[in-house]
């Protein structure tokens, strides 16, 4: 089964063709990062305009690269939430038009569920096996710890109470003058530092599975301004910040994995591209860890198409009245 996947929830315009939920025949992403870098963050109105310009050529390129005609496709899948409404609308409206024009089923996909299904794409390790699995989904807008009991069956154990992990990376990147997006910039800066001489606070929130990163962000702000009369090098602050985020994400995930007795941990979302996080989770996990290659952690159409394959195995397609939902919980 070949599915076209469309992703426009944030600032990447993505389209891909994936076969049987695993084999990537094409995966085209037009990033708007440079456009938004000028503003130090994503400007929703600008994002939706750029999706409008980029999406049709990106979809055409995905079909050409996959050597697919419309008649070779079995469905059109699209992210319908969560995300920026104006951006989601561009993808959903084009997907509806294409599904209608080519008489294909339309499949509305949850963005975070799509991130998790990047673990099934064959560019990664062998496909995840065994449920229940524990999914840590860390993106620019979400930090969710989700128990995946079966395909399509989720129970959310924890989420961020304030900033998402990626949002904290982006804000701290801005404070430190490292530019946007902060995640990759902080990772690069931290790599030039030795072990940081300072330890930033971690929010453990008792035994809860929830996360909080806003206190850490404030601590960085204070530290980057002045530490006992001496300014710390930016690289060292970046390293101390990254160390604190990774420590909290990994400690809480490992604890939940033990408590719930899961067979594996699935890491995904843009922040999962971070090498320190990937390595620490693999090192400290009591069970197997699956994590997609970095290019499949950040937003892309392949994860949407892959997720749709598993969705169609167990339920009907969406109607052409599919709407967008800026806030759509995974469970
Ligand atoms: O999943 P994603 O592409 O978009 C959303 O769904 O939000 O995630 C984007 C987020 C941004 O906050 C970005 O700074 C972060 O992922 N990110 C990283 C890295 N690469 C991207 N954070 C830490 N380390 C990275 N290497
Ligand atoms: Zn995302």
Looking up tokens 């030795």, which residue turns up? 194
Domain layout of the chain by residue ranges: 2-120+296-314, 133-291
- Looking at residue 40, its pLDDT comes to 87
Structure confidence by residue, pLDDT tens digits, 89-115:
999 999 999 999 999 999 999 999 999
What are 3's strand-pairing partners? 18, 75
Task: Specify the pTM.
Answer: 0.97
- The rounded Å distance from CA 234 to ligand 2 centre is 27
**Which ligand 1 atom minimizes the distance to the CA of 242?**
23
Contacts of 126 by beta carbon, 8 Å cutoff, 6+ apart: none
- Does this chain's domain 2-120+296-314 share its CATH topology with 133-291? yes
For 61-80, how does the pLDDT look when each residue is reduced to its tens digit (9 = 90+)? 999 999 999 999 999 999 99
Ligand 1 site, residue 83, Cβ cutoff 6 A: no
Question: Please, what CATH class does the domain formed by 2-120+296-314 belong to?
Answer: alpha beta
Q: 181 in ligand 1 pocket by Cβ < 6 Å? A: yes
**Is residue 21 within 6 Å of ligand 1 at its C-beta?**
no
Give the Cα separation of 30 and 12 in Å (integer): 6
Q: Which atom of ligand 1 is nearest to the CA of 182?
A: 14
Nearest ligand 1 atom to alpha carbon 298? 3
Give residue 331's pLDDT band: very low, low, confident or very high (50, 70, 90).
confident
* Ligand 1 center from residue 320 Cα (angstroms): 31
In terms of C-beta density within 10 A (0-12 exposed, 13-18 middle, 19 or more buried), how is residue 225 classed? exposed
pLDDT in tens, 201-250: 999 999 899 999 999 999 998 887 765 556 789 999 999 999 999 999 99
Q: What is the pLDDT of residue 129?
A: 78
C-beta of residue 236 within 8 angstroms of C-beta of residue 109:
no
Strand partners, 180: none
**CATH fold for domain 133-291:** Nucleotidyltransferase; domain 5 (3.30.420)
């Amino acid at each position: 089964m070949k599915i076209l996947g469309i992703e426009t929830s944030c600032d990447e315009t993505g389209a891909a063709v994936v076969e049987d939920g695993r084999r990537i025949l094409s995966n085209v992403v037009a990033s708007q990062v440079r456009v938004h870098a000028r503003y130090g963050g994503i400007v929703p109105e600008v994002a939706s305009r750029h999706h409008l310009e980029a999406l049709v050529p990106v979809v055409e390129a995905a079909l050409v690269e996959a050597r697919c005609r419309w008649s070779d496709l079995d469905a059109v899948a699209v992210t319908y939430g969560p995300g920026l409404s104006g951006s989601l609308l561009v993808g959903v409206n084009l997907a509806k038009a294409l599904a209608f024009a080519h008489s294909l089923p339309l499949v509305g996909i949850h963005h975070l569920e799509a991130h998790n299904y990047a673990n099934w794409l064959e560019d990664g390790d062998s496909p995840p096996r065994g449920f229940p699995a524990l999914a840590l989904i860390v993106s620019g807008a979400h930090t969710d710890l989700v128990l995946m009991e079966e395909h399509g069956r989720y129970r959310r154990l924890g989420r961020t109470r304030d900033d998402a992990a990626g949002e904290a990376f982006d804000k701290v990147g801005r404070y430190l003058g490292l530019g946007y997006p902060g995640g990759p910039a902080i990772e690069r800066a931290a790599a030039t530092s030795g072990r940081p001489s300072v330890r930033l606070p971690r929010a453990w929130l008792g035994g809860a599975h929830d996360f909080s990163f806003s206190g850490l962000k404030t601590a960085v702000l204070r530290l980057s301004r002045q530490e006992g009369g001496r300014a710390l090098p930016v690289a060292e602050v970046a390293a101390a910040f990254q160390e604190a985020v990774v420590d909290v994400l990994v400690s809480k995930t490992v604890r939940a994995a033990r408590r719930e007795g899961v067979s594996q941990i699935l890491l995904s979302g843009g922040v999962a591209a971070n090498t320190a996080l990937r390595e620490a989770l693999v090192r400290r996990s009591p069970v197997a860890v699956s994590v997609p290659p970095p290019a499949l952690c950040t937003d892309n159409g392949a994860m949407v198409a892959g997720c749709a394959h598993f969705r169609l195995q167990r339920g009907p397609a969406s109607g052409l009245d599919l709407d967008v939902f800026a806030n759509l919980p995974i469970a």
